């Protein structure tokens, strides 16, 4: 790595240069080494103890070239860091202790930045599980997601995404996921509840923050690198995936509700409180609770609110 110029100039350096430019004599007692190293002055070969001033523009250009060379070399070094990080699996393969095993990332931005960092060196897989109800996402967010899928697939990385079955009834998400599958990713849906997570290369695991109950940022989470933990979650993901329905094999009508369940949802939609649905329909409270739970499972909703949100969309679509 080339050395940087010896800067900044001190007030004494500037006064000494002005003195040399005027009559060749430096300020008495001032060290002229910095001015010499920068090429601002040079010894006068004809007069001992005196100096010749050189054009500061030429000196500035030389200093600029040094700085640019240093920046270029630093950028080249940074570009090689992923190759160094890529050696981690070879090192970890012979270790049973993973070092610092988890780190709390306290915001969505921190989580996203760390995931992107891990993806830069991904070589085998990115598996995600998204259990939340579908929402209308910013087109730019979906575009960025598609670019990520294309980049990973172009590098031969396996991309799997597991979703709540309710996404099959959300038109914007249906269009996006169909394009993702077309790009080479694998997508499946699951009717049962499952945790949100991301696994990268079997060595990085990102999970929700279940340690701090009531944390301010619901998108905070943990980056886990313990080999045993990541391997266990990797196995769990494979089991969830096996129980899911591949995107190509399911349709918007994959979930079914019984007529009784539809009657209960219509009553709730009309504003009937849950404890009033039973008397209205001639059902026991226990039966109503059981049917609502079955309806939630059928559409992949984790709460009654999500169930009613799904039901509202279905009614709006006719």
CATH number at residue 275: 1.10.10.10
What pLDDT digit, counting tens, does each position of 123-133 carry?
Answer: 999 999 998 77
Q: Are 190 and 126 in the same domain?
A: yes
Q: Can you tell me the distance from the alpha carbon of 208 to that of 105, in angstroms, rounded to the nearest whole number?
A: 10
Q: Are 216 and 305 in the same domain?
A: no
Q: Are 107 and 60 in the same domain?
A: no
Q: Can you tell me the distance from the alpha carbon of 50 to that of 256, in angstroms, rounded to the nearest whole number?
A: 97
pLDDT of residue 48: 86
What pLDDT digit, counting tens, does each position of 73-88 carry?
Answer: 999 999 998 888 888 7
Q: Are 160 and 36 in the same domain?
A: no
Domain boundary among 33, 53, 84: 84
Q: Are 30 and 76 in the same domain?
A: yes
User: Phi, psi at residue 210, to the nearest 5°?
Assistant: -95, 0
What percent of the chain is modeled with pLDDT above 70? 91
pLDDT tier, 1 (very low <50, low <70, confident <90, very high otherwise): low
Q: Are 141 and 165 in the same domain?
A: yes
Q: Are 135 and 208 in the same domain?
A: yes
Task: Say which residues have a Cβ less than 8 Å from residue 189's Cβ, sequence separation at least 6.
Answer: 162, 163, 164, 165, 167, 168, 244, 245, 247, 250, 254, 300
Inter-residue contact 237 to 127 (CB < 8 Å): yes
Q: Are 42 and 169 in the same domain?
A: no
Is residue 5 included in any domain, yes or no?
no
Q: Are 108 and 243 in the same domain?
A: yes
Is residue 124 included in any domain, yes or no?
yes
Residue 99 in this model has a pLDDT that exceeds 60: no
Q: Which DSSP category does 226 fall into?
A: -
Is residue 210 included in any domain, yes or no?
yes
Is residue 95 included in any domain, yes or no?
no
Q: Can you tell me the distance from the alpha carbon of 33 to that of 45, in angstroms, rounded to the nearest whole number?
A: 17
Is residue 34 included in any domain, yes or no?
yes
Q: Are 233 and 283 in the same domain?
A: no
Is residue 94 included in any domain, yes or no?
no
Q: Can you tell me the distance from the alpha carbon of 22 to that of 51, in angstroms, rounded to the nearest whole number?
A: 10
Domain boundary among 210, 227, 249: 249
How many other C-beta atoms lie within 10 A of the C-beta of residue 77? 11
Q: Are 263 and 223 in the same domain?
A: no
The structure tokens 């095993």 sit at 101
Range of the domain at 41: 11-84
Q: Are 138 and 168 in the same domain?
A: yes
Q: Six-digit token pair at 181? A: 């599958």
């Amino acid at each position: 790595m080339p050395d940087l110029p010896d800067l900044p100039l001190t007030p004494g350096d500037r006064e000494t240069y002005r003195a040399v430019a005027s009559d060749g004599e430096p300020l008495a007692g001032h060290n002229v080494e910095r001015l010499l190293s920068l090429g601002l002055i040079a010894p006068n070969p004809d007069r001992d103890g005196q100096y010749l001033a050189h054009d500061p523009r030429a000196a500035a250009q030389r200093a600029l070239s040094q700085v640019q060379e240093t920046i270029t070399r630093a950028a080249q070094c940074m570009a090689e860091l992923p190759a160094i990080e890529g050696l981690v699996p070879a090192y970890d393969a012979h270790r049973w202790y993973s070092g610092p095993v988890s780190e709390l990332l306290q915001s969505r931005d921190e989580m996203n930045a760390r995931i992107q960092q891990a993806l830069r060196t991904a070589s085998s897989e990115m598996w995600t599980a998204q259990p939340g109800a579908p929402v209308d996402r910013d087109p730019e967010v979906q575009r960025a997601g598609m670019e990520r899928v294309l980049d990973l697939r172009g590098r031969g990385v396996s991309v799997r995404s597991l979703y709540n079955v309710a996404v099959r009834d959300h038109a914007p998400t249906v269009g996006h996921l169909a394009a993702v599958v077309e790009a080479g990713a694998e997508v499946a849906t699951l009717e049962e509840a499952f945790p949100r997570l991301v696994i990268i290369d079997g060595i990085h695991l990102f999970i929700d923050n279940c340690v701090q109950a009531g944390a301010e940022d619901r998108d905070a989470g943990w980056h886990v690198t313990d080999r045993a933990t990541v391997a266990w979650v990797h196995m769990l993901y494979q089991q969830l995936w096996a129980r899911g329905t591949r995107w190509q094999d399911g349709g918007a009508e994959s979930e079914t509700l019984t007529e009784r369940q539809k009657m209960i949802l219509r009553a709730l939609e009309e504003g009937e409180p849950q404890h009033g649905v039973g008397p209205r329909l001639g059902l026991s409270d226990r039966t109503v609770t059981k049917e609502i739970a079955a309806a939630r499972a059928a559409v992949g909703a984790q709460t009654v609110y999500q169930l009613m949100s799904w039901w509202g969309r279905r009614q709006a679509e006719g």
